[in-house]
Amino acid sequence: MFRREMPPEETRSGWLIRMNDEGVAPDTAGDGFLERVEPWPADALRLGYWHDEPVAVSVEAGDADANTTPWPAAREWLATISPAYSELLATALQVVRWARDHRFCGRCGHETRRRLHEFAMQCDHCGLRGYPRISPCIITLVTFGREMLLARSPRFPPRRYSTLAGFIEPGEAVEAAIRREVMEEVGVNVGRVSFFKSQSWPFPHSLMMGFFAEATSRRIQIDGVEIADAAWFLPERVPELPPVYSISRQLIETHRGAVATR
Binding site for Zn ion (CB under 5 A): 105, 107-108, 123, 125-126, 128
**Residue 110 Cβ, how far from Zn ion at the closest point, in Å?**
5
Single-letter amino acid code for the residue at 190: V
Runs of H (alpha helix) within 7-126: 74-80, 83-101
Helix (H) or strand (E) holding 259: helix 247-259
Which residue in 210, 213, 242 sits closest to 138, CA to CA? 210
Q: With respect to Zn ion, which residue has the nearer C-beta, 3 or 113?
A: 113
**Residue 43 Cβ, how far from Zn ion at the closest point, in Å?**
23
Distance of CA 37 to the CA centre of its chain: 27
**Residue 127 Cβ, how far from Zn ion at the closest point, in Å?**
7
Q: Say whether 193 sits in a helix, a strand or coil.
A: strand
Measured CA to CA, the distance from residue 162 to residue 222 in angstroms comes to 14
Q: With respect to Zn ion, which residue has the nearer C-beta, 125 or 218?
A: 125
**Residue 214 Cβ, how far from Zn ion at the closest point, in Å?**
47
**Residue 118 Cβ, how far from Zn ion at the closest point, in Å?**
18
Pairing of strands 45-50, 53-59: antiparallel
- 47 neighbors 56 (Cβ within 8 angstroms): yes
**Residue 119 Cβ, how far from Zn ion at the closest point, in Å?**
18
Measured CA to CA, the distance from residue 214 to residue 191 in angstroms comes to 5
Q: With respect to Zn ion, which residue has the nearer C-beta, 39 or 106?
A: 106
**Residue 112 Cβ, how far from Zn ion at the closest point, in Å?**
7
Which residue in 167, 253, 203 sits closest to 86, CA to CA? 203
Measured CA to CA, the distance from residue 137 to residue 206 in angstroms comes to 6
Terminal-to-terminal C-alpha distance of the chain:
39
